Chain A
Amino acid sequence: GDSVTQMEGPVTLSEEAFLTINCTYTATGYPSLFWYVQYPGEGLQLLLKATKADDKGSNKGFEATYRKETTSFHLEKGSVQVSDSAVYFCALSDQDKLIFGTGTRLQVFP
């Protein structure tokens, strides 16, 4: 079945560092891909999405490009802030349900 694999955390960075969180997927069709974020004490929020190959999703300085050839959807940000500390989940849509990775905790220190 379809699945999502993302890098284990925690990822620990200093403020203004460059961020990459790797995500790869396995799917039989052509799913949409998502990054959700869970800030401490809050619910899951959509960060960005891409619905077809070569699409780039972006929001709040974060970007991810849907790479069909490498089945990847890596999350990047050029300069992280302390307020970006959260757990990030990569997900794909299997028809209408979402399949999530296990999450990557990001910790940003000043």
Chain B
Amino acid sequence: GAGVSQTPSNKVTEKGKYVELRCDPISGHTALYWYRQSLGQGPEFLIYFQGTGAADDSGLPNDRFFAVRPEGSVSTLKIQRTERGDSAVYLCASSLIAGEGQETQYFGPGTRLLVL
């Protein structure tokens, strides 16, 4: 079946603007994760949803970042007042369930965000 999809694949914006990044998880997956990958680094955790609720948002860097998953499927990561340091690839992943860290997370292709 279809994998995790993310839109847009690339986003260029200006400093101070607002952006939304969308993630469509694999159908039936209840857990959804957002990570951020800077150049030459491994992905860093941002937030994770179990169903509609954010189960762990400890990785969000500050209050400019916010994510929602209103119906327990599609999720949107929202960044307000973007800064040049927000430039990175934003990755979304989903897993069938969230349980004790053993579940495989399936990653989307990412959205490459460039803040000018």
Report A's interface with B, CB cutoff 8 A.
4, 31-32, 36, 42-46, 49, 51, 89, 91, 93-103
Interface: B40 (CB within 8 A)? yes
Contact A44 B91 (CB under 8 A): yes
- Give A52's nearest chain B residue, CB to CB: B102
| Chain B neighbourhood of A96, CB < 8 A | 31, 33, 48, 55-56, 98-101, 103
For the complex of A and B, list the 3 residue pairs with the smallest distance between their C-beta atoms, beginning with the closest: A93-B101, A100-B42, A44-B107
Given contacts A94-B101, A95-B101, contact A102 B55 (CB under 8 A): no
Chain B interface, DSSP helix/strand/loop, else mixed: loop
Given the contacts A51-B102, A93-B102, A98 and B43 also touching, CB distance less than 8 Å: yes
A51 / chain B contacts, CB cutoff of 8 Å: 102
A4 neighbours in B (Cβ, 8 Å): 42
Using an 8 Å CB-CB cutoff, how does the interface string of B93-107 with A read, 1 for contact, 0 for none? 100001111111111
Alpha-carbon gap, A77 to B60, bound state (A): 37
Chain B residue total in the interface (Cβ 8 A): 29
Q: Is B41 an interface residue (CB 8 A)?
A: yes
Q: How far is the CA of A51 from the CA of B43 in the complex (A)?
A: 21
A selection of 14 A-B contacts at a CB cut-off of 8 Å is: A31-B101, A43-B4, A44-B93, A45-B107, A46-B105, A89-B43, A96-B55, A96-B56, A96-B100, A98-B33, A99-B45, A100-B42, A102-B41, A103-B42
